[in-house]
Amino acid sequence: MRSDRRGVALVVALVGVLACAPADGPSTTGPRAGAPGIGDPDFPKDGNGGYDVSHYDLVIDYTPASKRLVGVTTIAASATQELSAFNLDLAGLDVREVAVDGAPATFTRQGDELTVRPAGPIADEARFSVKVSYSGVPRPIRDRADLGTYGFIPTADGAFVTSEPNGAKTWFPGNDHPADKAAFDFTITVPAGVTALANGEMSGKPTTSGGKTTYRWRERHPMVTYLATATLGKFELRQGRTSGGIPNLAAADPRFRSSLDRLYTTSAELTDYWATVFGPYPFGSTGGVVDDYAAGYALENQTKPLYGGFDPDESIIAHELAHQWFGNSLSIRRWKDLWLNEGFATYAEWLWAEHKGRRTAEAAFTDYYNRPATDEIWNYPPGRARPDDLFNDSVYSRGAMTLHALRRAVGDQTFFALLRTWAADHRYGHVTTDEFVQLAEKMSGKDLGALFDAWLFQPRKPSALG
Ligand code: ARG
Ligand code: ZN
């Protein structure tokens, strides 16, 4: 489900022209291999070109004792060009077999790219299926200090699965970039006694036989790959509904048993509150999971934020649940726009403190604004997140300050109407910074170019409070 086909097709076409030019002049027709990347200049190998995924069917069998995963992924996609071959992203693991529309396909591996060559070409706009049978011991990504460890992370009793930005490829083959969203079905088999927690809602009762239990989960709303999870282990559960009627599931590793009730009630309260501020909750259920793995961060996994080895407070729960609107329902097309996720979720923390009468957003803004002009936050423009330092504090805090500066400029009524219109207009879709600036200007009737430029794009402290 990708809505920016035109832009991507153009990039692919240009690459095709350049690649073909020396041989026999430009040729843009006929079957060609899909590009190895989806077109994000900062992450050139992430995602892939030439097709658009609508559904992932993930069947996984995982044994915590051996850390071995046996998987079958079936992808439903449609071609965005005539394809002689196409890539999937997959890191490590052994591929046994690939089939396209039920017919055996040949495949090669290079780095994290799995290239699939179907028996015959796939027509432009044709729907097709790809089935990949694979197995092995998943290896999380830990090669970058700024990102910590992410992907499929084995734990003593199961696995902790948080894949932002590009760790989905550590546990299933796919189009691993937020520009391609899809629905997901999960069928997860684990030793009896282990609980499997994936996105969305259970699509059947767990069944146990031969000492193994199979869980089925379905996320029917579009989801980016980095939000997919299959978090496994021993969990205490609490289930019910929020006061507003949304199914709510909290889960805690036994070591965090004391966090369970607060996680449950706070998640319910925040989901309902954000619905009054941002508009209707976009998904079929809410909740959260606390696992005994010290990730040092949380991730807003769709419908089930995951907290890594700490007792989450209201502020971080407010943050991860605000992401269900900003980041999950509305997703970025390019990583450079990450402030549209993190600046909004951080501003939501300020809004929650304001709502609770603890500290106004104005006071939070002023605390940050009072940082000296030499503070690092001022030389990192948050409107262009850097691939080598994606989750910089500026993307979060200066991103949130940008929203507060906007609120001061347009007034509360326009500002909160803007947040709701933004969430409604792009529900389940993709967004860019330009689109946000345009909507803000349209709804306020003001020229906001200088404000956004100073707050998002200049490597210095904005001079006026706006
Ligand atoms: N989006 C997450 C949050 O703001 C942070 C994810 C960080 N990812 C990582 N690999 N460290 O809550
Ligand atoms: Zn966040």
Ligand 1 atom nearest 342 alpha carbon = 4
- Atom 3, ligand 1: which residue's CA is nearest? 299
Instruction: Give, for ligand 1, the residue of 160, 176, 297 to mutate: max count of ligand atoms closer than 8 Å to Cβ.
Output: 297
Ligand 1 atom nearest 149 alpha carbon = 10
Instruction: Give, for ligand 1, the residue of 142, 146, 161, 164 to mutate: max count of ligand atoms closer than 8 Å to Cβ.
Output: 164
To the nearest 10 degrees (0 to 180), the angle between helices 361-369 and 339-355 is 120
C-alpha of residue 227 to centroid of ligand 2, in Å: 12
Could you tell me which of 463, 446, 430 has the C-alpha nearest to residue 40?
Answer: 430
In DSSP notation, 171-184 reads TS-B--STTS-EEE
* Residue located via tokens 């693991």: 93
- The reply to whether ligand 1 has any atom less than 6 angstroms from the CB of 150 is yes
Structure tokens at 444: 């306020």
Helix ranges (DSSP H) in 325-393 = 339-355, 361-369, 393
Could you tell me which of 175, 285, 289 has the C-alpha nearest to residue 226?
Answer: 175
- Atom 11, ligand 1: which residue's CA is nearest? 147
- The reply to whether ligand 1 has any atom less than 6 angstroms from the CB of 164 is yes
Ligand 1 atom nearest 319 alpha carbon = 12
pLDDT of residue 465: 58
Could you tell me which of 345, 344, 339, 327 has the C-alpha nearest to residue 386?
Answer: 339
Ligand 1 atom nearest 150 alpha carbon = 10
- The reply to whether ligand 1 has any atom less than 6 angstroms from the CB of 307 is no
Structure tokens at 161: 């699965």
pLDDT of residue 143: 82
Q: Estimate to the nearest angstrom the gap between the alpha carbon of 462 and the chain centroid.
A: 30
- The reply to whether ligand 1 has any atom less than 6 angstroms from the CB of 391 is yes
- The reply to whether ligand 1 has any atom less than 6 angstroms from the CB of 38 is no
- The reply to whether ligand 1 has any atom less than 6 angstroms from the CB of 297 is yes
- How far apart, in Å, are the Cα atoms of 90 and each of 135, 154, 168, 187, 329? 11, 17, 8, 19, 25
- Atom 9, ligand 1: which residue's CA is nearest? 147
Cα 150 to Cα 148: distance, rounded to the nearest angstrom = 7
Write the pLDDT tens digit of every residue in 24-80.
444 567 899 999 999 999 999 999 999 999 999 999 999 999 999 999 999 999 999
C-alpha of residue 320 to centroid of ligand 2, in Å: 6
- The reply to whether ligand 1 has any atom less than 6 angstroms from the CB of 161 is no
- The reply to whether ligand 1 has any atom less than 6 angstroms from the CB of 299 is yes
C-alpha of residue 59 to centroid of ligand 2, in Å: 29
- How far apart, in Å, are the Cα atoms of 189 and each of 3, 20, 92, 214, 217? 34, 47, 21, 4, 12
- The reply to whether ligand 1 has any atom less than 6 angstroms from the CB of 226 is no
Q: Estimate to the nearest angstrom the gap between the alpha carbon of 172 and the chain centroid.
A: 15
CB 158 within 8 A of CB 213: no
Question: pTM for the whole thing?
Answer: 0.94
C-alpha of residue 437 to centroid of ligand 1, in Å: 25
Could you tell me which of 48, 19, 321, 22 has the C-alpha nearest to residue 169?
Answer: 48
- The reply to whether ligand 1 has any atom less than 6 angstroms from the CB of 310 is no
| Mean pLDDT (the chain, rounded) | 94
Instruction: Give, for ligand 1, the residue of 224, 304, 344, 391 to mutate: max count of ligand atoms closer than 8 Å to Cβ.
Output: 391
pLDDT of residue 145: 85
Regions of the chain with pLDDT less than 50? 4-26
End-to-end distance of the chain based on CA atoms, in angstroms? 39
C-alpha of residue 314 to centroid of ligand 2, in Å: 14
Could you tell me which of 322, 286, 331 has the C-alpha nearest to residue 304?
Answer: 286
pLDDT of residue 30: 87
Ligand nearest to the CA of 342: 2
Ligand nearest to the CA of 389: 1
Half-sphere exposure in the Cβ direction for 300 (13 Å, CA): 26
CB 350 within 8 A of CB 402: no
The conformation of residue 146, written as its DSSP 8-state character, comes to G
C-alpha of residue 312 to centroid of ligand 2, in Å: 14
- The reply to whether ligand 1 has any atom less than 6 angstroms from the CB of 148 is yes
- The reply to whether ligand 1 has any atom less than 6 angstroms from the CB of 185 is no
Contacts of 161 (CB under 8 A, 6+ apart): 151, 152, 153, 171, 228, 229, 230, 231, 232, 301, 306
Q: Estimate to the nearest angstrom the gap between the alpha carbon of 253 and the chain centroid.
A: 23
Cα 179 to Cα 4: distance, rounded to the nearest angstrom = 8
Residues bordering ligand 2, an ion, CB closer than 5 Å: 342, 345
Which domains are assigned to the chain?
11-228 (2.60.40.1730), 331-457 (1.10.390.10)
Length of the chain: 466
pLDDT of residue 463: 87
Q: Report the number of secondary-structure helices (H) and strands (E) in the chain.
A: 10, 24
